[in-house]
Amino acid sequence: MKYFKNKDELLFYRTPAAFTKHSPLEVLKYAIGANLYMPGTQNNIFKKLIHNDFREIGSITLCLEDSIQEDEVADAENNILKILNDLFFEQSAHPKIAEDLPLIFIRVRNVEQFYKFSKRLDRTHLSILAGFCFPKFDSENGNDYFSIMDELKEKHHEILYGMPILEDRKLMSLETRVQELSMIKEIMLDHKEEILNIRVGGTDFSSVFGLRRSIDYSIYDIHPVADCLTTILNEFLPCDFVISGPVWEYFSNDPDSTEIYGLKKELRLDLENGFFGKTIIHPSQINVVNQEYIVDYHDYTDAKDVLSREGGVSKGNHRMNEAAPHHAWAKKIIARSKVFGVLDENCKIA
Q: Which residues are annotated as a binding site for Mg(2+)?
A: 204
Q: Is the dihedral of CA 116, 118, 124, 125 positive or negative?
A: positive
Q: What angle do CA 339, 344, 348 make, to 5 degrees?
A: 95
Q: Which positions ≥6 away from 333 have C-beta within 8 Å?
A: 295, 299, 300, 302, 303
The C-alpha angle 220, 226, 230, rounded to 5 degrees, equals 115
Closest CA to 148 of 195, 200, 112, 190: 112
**Vertex 234 angle, CA 228 and 236, to 5°:** 105
Phi, psi of 52 (to 5 degrees): 55, 40
Per DSSP, what are the bridge partners of residue 321? 314
**CA 255 to chain CA centroid, nearest Å:** 23
Contact between 99 and 126 (Cβ < 8 Å)? no
Under DSSP, is residue 104 helix (H, G, I), strand (E, B) or coil? strand
Determine contact, residues 271/245, Cβ cutoff 8 Å: no
Could you tell me how far CA 99 lies from the centroid of its own chain? 19
Angle at 254 between CA 214 and CA 290, to 5 degrees: 80
The tally of CA atoms less than 13 A away on the side-chain side of residue 62 is: 28
- What is the rounded distance in angstroms from the CA atom of residue 336 to the CA atom of residue 330? 10
Which among 256, 258, 263, 271 has a CA at the least distance from the CA of 288? Answer: 263
Nearest to 38 by CA among 104, 119, 87, 127: 104
Annotated binding residues: 204
Strand partners, 318: none
